Amino acid sequence: MKLPRKYTLVEICKLIQCDYIGEPTHGITGLNEIHMVESGDIVFVDHPKYYEKALKSDATTIIIDKEVECPTGKALILSKSPFDDFNRLTRHFMPESNPHESKNQTIHPSSIIFPHVFIGSNVKIGENCKIMSGASIQDNCILENNVIIGPNTVIGHSAFYYKKKVDGYHRLHSCGGVHIKENVEVGALCTIDAGVSGMTTIGRGTKIDNQVHIGHDTQIGEHCLMASGVGIAGCVTIKNNVTLWGQVGCASNVVIENNVIVYAQSGIGKNLEEGKTYFGSPCGEAKEKFKELVALKKLPTILDKLTND
């Protein structure tokens, strides 16, 4: 999420009433979570396990719950609760909109919007799009030209990102959106979650079947194919020409390289190499997995033989 202008460290700290380490005029241009940070961004960290990752990231301002050595060229914001203070900032710069007062919509006149479609604020819809009945295009979404959205699909719902506290789970406020590039088709009853502070992206020419879920901040490349029931967690990178057949599930922070095929009902828990075909849960190269299934089928006969001998 980019801020409307460059803010100084002092200005940001006044908003959340926190102390800081760094130059008072240190510039801040955005807010982002750790997977999406760029130079000029604020990121938060509230666990020693992730201090080093945050401090060494591209973020130049870190909200942190412990006073540590500040890296050169960066600034620290000292907070008792970095999660809560990050939420205060995102809500300040991107408050939740009133669904009855959606504004800043740009919809090309050639696009067809069916009855009973909801369109939120800060939405852009390009040429020759088709948004079918019951679909919800929520805040901060971009649909490029020739995009089709099936009935009852939700684009841009809040990220599934929570912190467990004494009184239960607290949601991290989503201030990102979804960017669907040209010639993408999304089927019925799909859900594509907004980025926490950036954009979940669906690449040009990708085709998505019915009842597919794509988590926050996931980046999907060009000309991918996803069959019904696929579930993709947050912060996944899927490159170009990837095919995921029915009911494939993918864990977060995985990278799937170009031209990968994953057969139905497989579970992806680690990075997949370019140009290979995978199967199983946890998935492996399909040829090897099929050999394992053949061997497993022979196991009762082998055990009977060993027992009788």
Per residue in 47-99, pLDDT (tens digit) is 999 999 999 999 999 999 999 999 999 999 999 999 999 999 999 999 888 88
- The C-alpha atoms of residue 150 and residue 154 are separated, in whole angstroms, by 9
- The C-alpha atoms of residue 244 and residue 213 are separated, in whole angstroms, by 12
The one catalytic residue among 26, 35, 173, 216: 216
* Confidence (pLDDT) at 298: 83
pTM of the complete model beyond 0.75: yes
What DSSP element (H or E) covers 208?
Answer: strand 207-208
* Confidence (pLDDT) at 309: 67
Q: Structural domains in the chain?
A: 2-93 (3.40.1390.10), 106-287 (2.160.10.10)
Buried b (16+ CB within 10 A) or exposed e, 220-250: bbbebbbbbbbbbbbbbbbbbbbbbbbebbb
Burial zone of 128 (CB within 10 Å; 0-12 exposed, 13-18 middle, 19+ buried): middle
Which residue stretches of the chain have pLDDT < 50? none
Annotated catalytic residue 223:
no
* Confidence (pLDDT) at 6: 97
Helix %, strand %, coil % of the chain (to 5): 15, 35, 50
What DSSP element (H or E) covers 283?
Answer: strand 283-285
* Confidence (pLDDT) at 98: 85
